[in-house]
Amino acid sequence: MRRVVVTGMGTVNPLGKSVNEFWENIAANKLGFSFIDQFDASDFDVKIVGAVKDFDSSKYIEKKEARRIDRFSQFAVVSSMDALEDAGSDLKDLDPYRVGVIIGCGIGGLELTENEHQKFLEKGPDRISVFYVPMMIGNMAAGTVAMQTGFKGANYSTVTACASSTHAIGEAFRKIKDGYLDACLCGGTESCITKFSLAGFNNMKALSRATELDRASTPFDADRQGFVLGEGCGMLLLEELEHAKARGAKIYAEIAGYGATCDAYHMTSPDPAGEAAAKAMELAYTEAGLKASDISYINAHGTSTELNDKYETAAIKIALGEHAKKVAINSTKSMIGHLLGAAGAVEAVATVLSVKNDFVHRTVGYKTPDPECDLDYCTEGNREMKVYAALSNSLGFGGHNATVCFKKYE
């Protein structure tokens, strides 16, 4: 059986523009939140977002070219090239058709769409940019990364709302495990902190209306108000084990299982029963050759919304049985907010580092227990603990559930 390992990672997110910076800030329990300054938000109840500040893509993208690449795709290029640099290889020794790029994206170039639509209304159809369509479409992150790297294998975008990037990682894992690829850059990217996006999510009552940064995102807390809209990207280089060993690659962890299911229940609400989400977790750890009792840690979807947190809790109880009370659970969204289509990938980076470093970060901001969220959410502080195997969950609008299982490389 072909085994798959993580040999490189890159990220751009509200807590850091590199994996090291992100991890240092995670360990310090810093918050990646800020008050909205991208536009005038005086008409909005929502005041806080998880923005990437001072982003600069010039290391990999020339200034002229950057004008033709949307922000979400630039995030993907920078994170992907950092992941290859981290892995210590450009993989040029491989057949380019054996290296893929699979990048999840929930929305794509929304800010560009808003700007071009305004231009359309004010100046007419002839003034729309000829680059509008190829810049805006969600698959262009994967396409742009391929152009940057020369990788010609399987290349596509998974679009399953907030589960997009976890599905991308899972699909890349399967491509390598089943022999179709030898390596794959995979993850997710998103950049949609805009007036239109904020209004849409806010009118759904999905967003936090907190006015204090340290109470903006409080997963599993009884007083949780909703999620903080964030942006960013996470990319992982997955590689077939023997190829990684042959080149002396450092190995962060093994990715050993993947589960994908659908609630088939509601447009936005998770299924209260939690059965399909639980099945995704069960499929992931079973494929990894593990039992429920082998799971040390779960990086939860943990959005800080009323329904997600209690229904995900119910799903974990079904998936792990009595062991659910013993497993450490946290939510990285307590520090970076919800990165939508990129959420699962950035959280996968955090999960992999937890496995490698035997460290589980605190769920920050938690104060008030919720009787319906009664598991161990690491609310008292960071933990240095043995992390043999971990699950990373993502649950998306439409009922999409995705779980990946990472374990220590042995």
Q: Which residue has the tokens 């990285």?
A: 332
Residues 343 and 141: their CA atoms lie apart, in Å, by 16
Mean pLDDT by runs of 10 across the 410 residues of the chain is: 96 98 98 96 95 97 96 98 98 97 97 95 96 96 98 98 98 98 98 96 95 97 97 98 97 98 94 96 98 98 97 98 98 98 98 98 97 97 98 97 97
**Terminal alpha carbon distance of the chain:** 15
Burial class (CB in 10 A: 0-12, 13-18, 19+), 180: middle
What residues are labeled active site? Answer: 162, 301, 338
pLDDT attached to residue 1: 83
By the 8 A CB rule, do 164 and 395 touch? no
**Does the domain made of 4-246 have the CATH classification 1.25.40.10?**
no
Q: How far is CA 282 from CA 181, 187, 262, 279, 319, in A?
A: 25, 22, 14, 5, 6
By the 8 A CB rule, do 21 and 15 touch? yes
pLDDT attached to residue 322: 97
pTM exceeds 0.85 for this model = yes
pLDDT attached to residue 351: 98
pLDDT attached to residue 372: 96
Residues 103 and 367: their CA atoms lie apart, in Å, by 36
Residues 302 and 312: their CA atoms lie apart, in Å, by 8
Reduced to 3 states (helix: H, G, I; strand: E, B; else coil), residue 101 is strand
pLDDT attached to residue 380: 96
By the 8 A CB rule, do 74 and 229 touch? no
Reduced to 3 states (helix: H, G, I; strand: E, B; else coil), residue 391 is strand
Question: Encoding tokens for residue 132?
Answer: 């509008």
Residue ranges of the chain that CATH labels 3.40.47.10: 4-246, 258-407
Pick the CATH number of 258-407 from 1.10.3720.10, 3.10.180.10, 3.40.50.300, 3.40.47.10: 3.40.47.10
pLDDT attached to residue 194: 96
